[in-house]
Structure 1
Amino acid sequence: MRNAHEQFTTGELALFIGATVNSFGSRGIHISHLETRAEKSGQGWDLLADCDATKEQLIAAATDLVQNLDSLTGIALYRKDEVADVPWFPRHIADLDNCSHCITKYDPTTDSRHPVGFL
C-alpha cells in the first residue's frame, strides 16, 4: 500500500463525492482525507483524496469513475515521496514556543567535551 493523492475535476460536486467514496470503497481503498475546492476557472470543483492504495486499485477506481461520470474532466495522481520529508522548522515567531526544549546557544566553556585550553 502506498500513500497517494488523487485529484479530480468535475462539475457536479455532491454526486461526484458519493461516486468517489463508493468507487474507492468497492476497490478496498482507504481514504484518510477528502478535500474539495472551487476550480481555478470557477466552472467546476476539484476533489483531492488522500488515500492508501496500490497502483492497480487506484487505476481501477479511476476507470470506474471515468465510465460512470460524464462530468469528470480531469484526473491527476500524486505519490507521496517518503524520503523527501522535510523536518519541521519554525516559520512564525509563535512557533518558537514549541522549541523551548531546544538548546539554541552554544557556550564552549560549559561543554565538557571541549578542550579548555583552546578558547
Structure 2
Amino acid sequence: MASAHVMKDTGPEPVPCMQPAMMMFSSKYWSRRGMSLDSAMFDHQNQQQQRHTGGRMSRRTSFSPIDERADGESTAGSGETAVVFSLKNEVGCLVKALKLFQEKRVNLKHIESRMSRRVPNEVEIFANCSCSKKEFNELLQHLKDQVNIISFNTPAHVWSAEADDEEVPWFPMKISELDQCSHRVLMYGSELDADHPGFKDNIYRERRKYFVEVAMNYKFGQPIPRIEYTPEEVRTWGVVFRELTKLYPTHACREYLKNL
C-alpha cells in the first residue's frame, strides 16, 4: 500500500504521516515540523481511500476551518475549554467525532491522542477548543452518543502530567530518594528456605535479622551504623580470610592480584 503524505502549507516538501493511529495528532511530532493542529479534520474522501488500513485510523489528514460562521455570526464572547474522550482505535471513529466539532461550530485549538490506560484497544483524545458555553454543552450531548467522555474542562497541564507519568516511571534521582524504595529491594531477611544451611541455626537467623533491621532503618544523612561483631564471628571470618589468602596466588585472576 502506498504510503500517505501530508503537505506543509509553507512548502512543497512532503512530510510522512506517523504510522500508529494514536500518534497522528501528537503535538510533539507536529511542533518539531513547524506545523499546528488548528481546526484538524479528516477529509471524508481520504477516509474512503484509506478504508483498508488494517484496523488503524486513516493515515491521511486534511485541515479545514471549523470555526467559520455561515451566517456571519461573531465569535466574540467565546472561551477556551477542553474535553477528554475515548473511542475505539478503528477507521472512521475519530472522523465522526471531529465532524461534530464542525457541525456545532466549535473551533479546535489543539488536539492530542494517546493509547487508553483504562480500556484496551481504545484511544484517548484531548481536544482544546474555543466556543461558547452553550455550544460546548451541545457538543458534549452529541459526543456522548459516539464516544466515552472521560472529563471536560480538563487543564492541559493535567493531561501532560498524566502522559509524562505514563512514559517515564518514577525512579530515584538522588541518594536521599533511595529511602523511598529501599523496602522494595529483594533481600534476605530472617525467613530462610528449609534447604538453607543456616535454616536450623537459630543464632545465625537472629543475627541475620538484626543486620536486616539495621539496614532497613538507616536513612540518608544519618551516621553509618557501626556493627560490633561477636568473638565467634571474628574467629570465623579470620579463618575465612587466611584460607582465601593462601588460594589467591593460584586461583585469583591477575587483575585481582594486581590490586591487592
Equivalent residue, structure 2, for 1:77: 152
- Greater relative contact order, per chain length (Cα 8 Å cut-off, separation 6+): 1
Aligned partner of 2:105 in structure 1 is 28
Amino acid at match of 2:85: F
Q: How many residue pairs align between the two structures? A: 77
Q: Which has the higher strand share?
A: 1
- Quick one: structure 1 residues 36 and 14, their matched pair in 2 at CA, closer, same or farther if it must change by over 3 Å? farther
Once the 2 structures are TM-superposed, how far is the Cα of residue 38 of structure 1 from its aligned partner? 0.4
Identical counterparts, % of pairs: 13
Work out which of the residue numbers 130, 135, 141 in structure 2 matches 1:52.
130
TM-score of the pair, normalised by structure 1: 0.56
Change (3 A) 1:31 1:14: farther
Q: Distance in 2 between matches of 1:9 and 1:3?
A: 20
Matched, 1:3 2:73: no
Query: Which residue is 1:37 aligned to?
Result: 114
For residue 41 of structure 1, report the CA deviation from its aligned partner: 3.2
Over the aligned positions, Cα root-mean-square deviation in angstroms equals 1.9
Note the residue ranges of structure 1 that are not aligned, 5 or more in a row.
81-119
- Give the AA of the match of 1:77: F
Q: Secondary structure at the match of 2:153?
A: strand
The whole-number CA distance in structure 2 between the counterparts of 1:14 and 1:24 is 18
| Cα distance, 1:14–1:35 mapped onto 2, change above 3 Å | farther
Partners of 1:8 and 1:36 in 2: CA distance: 10
Match of 1:104 in 2: none
Q: Which has the higher helix share?
A: 2
Q: Distance between the aligned counterparts of 1:49 and 1:8, measured in 2?
A: 8
Where 1:41 maps in the other structure, the secondary structure is: coil
The AA in structure 2 aligned to 1:24 is F
Rounded to whole Å, the distance in 1 between the matches of 2:129 and 2:91 is: 19
